[in-house]
Amino acid sequence: MPSETLTIDNFANSLSAPSPIVSATSTVFPLPADHPPMHEHSGGTCPVTGKTHAYCPPQKGDIRSVCPALNTMANHGFIPRDGRNLTFSILFRGLKACYGLSSTLATVLVTGGFLAIGRSPIRIPFISDLSLFRVQNPDGSISPSGVIDLYLIGLHGRVEHDASLVHRNTPDGEKYGPIKIKEEWVPKLVGDIEPRVDGYSPQYSDTDTLDVTPDHKRDPSAVSSSSESSSSTKTFINSPEYLSTLVDEADVGRMRARRQHDILPKQLDGLHAEIARGEMSIILGVWNSQYQPKHKGKRNSDGNGEKQGIPLPWLLQWLSEERLPEVPVSSSNTETEVSDGTTTPSKSQKTTIWRPNHKQTLRDVVSRSQRIRKVAEAAESQAAKL
């Protein structure tokens, strides 16, 4: 194993040893790192208890964020399913296990996330639990130093930003961005894909008119980050033929340009524009070339070479349902876990939750983000001339 990986992994583990986490009301002993944390259901035991990383949407009392990547990790048990008591090492290990991120990339993301919201990523067992180091959360609860929950990631203007692909802008005067997914915006992403996707018809609806009740709650049972996909979105997710429709950097560039146009006269600053591109760059790299389309010959939007990208149903399901895709059991090298996923290449074929088979590096993300930026800026420039 490379020395870099050993060094960073050991550093990550040292930041958060598996010691008791003391809250204002109780002491919670973390489960082992390889155990999917459980959460409560009103009807009793979680139906996926004992199933490795099976999907379960958030339940009453669970916390979710504005970030589909983190919410997906919680929904599949790569981090605590209730979205609470998150330390550096929990998030670090979760990102690597769920998406196959390199140690360097995971370290940059987690450290940056903690610091951006004004929290320390360093947790010293017992010392961090002292009242001197505790921090008050938006709902009045108290967290030890080095411990956050998913909702805190949505602090506006830090990691969270306007012009999200599936969330409204943060209303003026609000500290945290809305976590509710605008399900009618999801099919609009299909319209940004080239060549034109068969079966797509433009949908005209509101953009960022902030006629939304401010979201003060962190409980998705009241205001959910997850949503039942709209009928048009379900068509693209459930129909096997759309697995051969690939989404690449140019398509994402057009998505970003459209959303920037939607929020005019507001403009994302350079940092948050880069964050917005980076978010999508990561998932493009994680899933790129993970599915071989049945129908070859489709070209890139610039006409140069066969198009490479990620399957459209995977992207739409990830953004709208915050769920990992399912793949045929025969094509997976991982532990079989048959479940009732909505993305199935064949109705008669057993499927398993997708698992990473390559490492996603920081260099890959930066390179891909630059390609997204090039297309986005060209599209914005063209729109400004109209």
Q: Which residues are CB-neighbours of 185 under 8 A, at least 6 positions away?
A: 165, 166, 205
pLDDT band, residue 49 (cuts 50/70/90): low
% of the chain exceeding 70 in pLDDT = 69
Instruction: Look at residue 18 and tell me whether its pLDDT is greater than 90.
Output: no
Which pLDDT score, from 0 to 100, does residue 39 have? 64
Kindly report each contact of residues 185-190 with a partner whose C-beta sits within 8 Å and lies 24 or more positions away, as own/partner.
186/229, 186/230, 186/233, 186/316, 186/319, 186/320, 187/230, 187/232, 187/233, 187/236, 188/258, 189/165, 189/255, 189/315, 189/316, 189/319, 190/236, 190/312, 190/316
The single residue listed with the structure tokens 């002491």 is: 27
Instruction: Look at residue 54 and tell me whether its pLDDT is greater than 80.
Output: yes
- Asked if 278 and 365 count as a contact pair (C-beta separation under 8 A), the reply is yes
Closest CA to 151 of 229, 240, 217, 54: 217
Which pLDDT score, from 0 to 100, does residue 201 have? 82
The pTM assigned to this predicted structure is 0.78
Closest CA to 220 of 15, 26, 58, 334: 58
Task: Identify which has the larger pLDDT, 132 or 118.
Answer: 118
Looking at every residue in the chain, the average pLDDT score rounds to 78
pLDDT band, residue 202 (cuts 50/70/90): confident
Can you tell me the distance from the alpha carbon of 386 to that of 383, in angstroms, rounded to the nearest whole number? 5
Task: Identify which has the larger pLDDT, 327 or 46.
Answer: 327
Which pLDDT score, from 0 to 100, does residue 25 have? 34
Instruction: Look at residue 257 and tell me whether its pLDDT is greater than 90.
Output: yes
User: Within its chain, how far is the Cα of 301 from the centroid?
Assistant: 26
Can you tell me the distance from the alpha carbon of 123 to that of 133, in angstroms, rounded to the nearest whole number? 10
- Asked if 310 and 283 count as a contact pair (C-beta separation under 8 A), the reply is yes
Closest CA to 249 of 381, 378, 67, 108: 378
* pLDDT tens per residue across span 285-343: 999 865 555 445 455 545 556 788 999 999 999 999 999 998 887 644 444 343 433 34
Which one-letter DSSP state was computed for residue 20? P
DSSP string across 249-279: HHHHHHHHHHHHHHTTT----HHHHHHHHHH
Can you tell me the distance from the alpha carbon of 251 to that of 307, in angstroms, rounded to the nearest whole number? 11
Which one-letter DSSP state was computed for residue 230? P
What tokens does 225 get? Answer: 């980050």
If residue 384 lies in a helix (H) or strand (E), which one and from where to where? helix 362-385
Instruction: Look at residue 250 and tell me whether its pLDDT is greater than 90.
Output: yes
Which pLDDT score, from 0 to 100, does residue 95 have? 98
Mean pLDDT of 74-101: 95
Mean pLDDT of 338-356: 61
Phi, psi of 7 (to 5 degrees): -65, -50
Which pLDDT score, from 0 to 100, does residue 173 have? 87
Dmax over Cα atoms in the chain, in whole Å? 63
What tokens does 252 get? Answer: 């994402």
% of the chain exceeding 90 in pLDDT = 44
Instruction: Look at residue 269 and tell me whether its pLDDT is greater than 50.
Output: yes
Can you tell me the distance from the alpha carbon of 266 to that of 50, in angstroms, rounded to the nearest whole number? 47
For residue 379, the number of C-alpha atoms closer than 13 Å in the C-beta half-sphere is 20
